[in-house]
Structure 1
Amino acid sequence: MELNVIGAKPLSVSDEVFGGEYKKALVHQVVIAYQAAGRAGTQSQLSRGQMSGTTKKFKKQKGGGARHGDYRAPIFVGGGRAFAAKPRSYEQKVNRKAYRVAIRSIFSELARQGRLKVVESFGVESPKTSLMVAKLAELEVSGRVLLVSEDASEAVFLAARNIPYIHVLDVMGLNPVSLVGSDHVVMTVDAVKKVEEWLA
């Protein structure tokens, strides 16, 4: 298949990478796994047995209403937690092959919906926000925009930094969350070729 390159001749790309079937369930699994892997998992609480303080019974067993042993019980303010959270890993295993299939699926859907735009270059040689704003207006993209280049230059990064909802990534930094969460994805020709080489 061919992808239209703005201001240049169409680019021939692999049908497998940019024209495949959209696998919604797999994409969902990969996105959730990526988000879960970003969780710190450092939450820690004290259970009743780990609380400091006396274990002395503070009231007689009968005649005073509810029966209690000590003030460390979860029912009391300052007591231990009934089901205390402990540090844990939220990582979910995703096979490398499945991850690549999911990324291919996302790119195919972006191309099918017209949300993937390809350019020769971003045309921003100096780190000026006005140049980036003009370039985005020329490309007719709005909302959450992801700019992807083979090796994102500092000028492009600085020019886009002050524009809300504009993110710049290189090919190595691509991830399913950024792709799925973008209204438009703008890629350079070199980036498309590198992605195709990676996912082929």
Structure 2
Amino acid sequence: MLKAELRKKYMQKRKALSIDEAFLLSEKIFNNFIEYFKPFQSQKIHICIPIEKFKEINTQIFIDYFLSQKIRVFVPKIIETKLISVEIFSDTEYELNSWGISEPVSNEDSGVSDFDFVITPLLYCDYKGNRVGYGKGFYDSFFETLSERTKKIGVNYFNPEENIDDVWENDIPLDYLVTPDDVLSFSGASE
């Protein structure tokens, strides 16, 4: 299927989830992530802040846990057309951007590129790690700046079902996908 079709299909599937279902599925995804990756103190994790109106995975569960375990947490902030990574702490102040997304008030880019994990939002991911986001390309540009050892991890309510037919040469696939049911690894997957 084409990205535009998948984007529409999975936005609808996500919209159909109740708030309780979305929260329970988010908890399962969180538990699968913790069990599989076993993050520990002083690691560096970049993670998206959920867009509630889009019923994104509740990554606040992850953020609260990471901060409690003294894991360094970084979140995205869009400055003009670029995604920067801002380190956050338990007392970080936030504001809504023009899209209604919560972001840190700070505009200070951490400059970190050697994250242990980058947990990224998506609408769909196929069996090769290709993802469909909202179509802005922020994460592909961000992925280009990362260390090779950084694990790029998608989180999604849904398992892969069909291939993405219009993968572009600048699309950077994920290394893993965490769903409520599974953790899929794409290392060694070829086009």
TM-score computed with the length of structure 2 as normaliser? 0.26
Structure with the bigger percentage of helix: 1
Whichever of the two has the greater Rg, that structure is 1
Structure with the bigger percentage of strand: 2
TM-score computed with the length of structure 1 as normaliser? 0.25
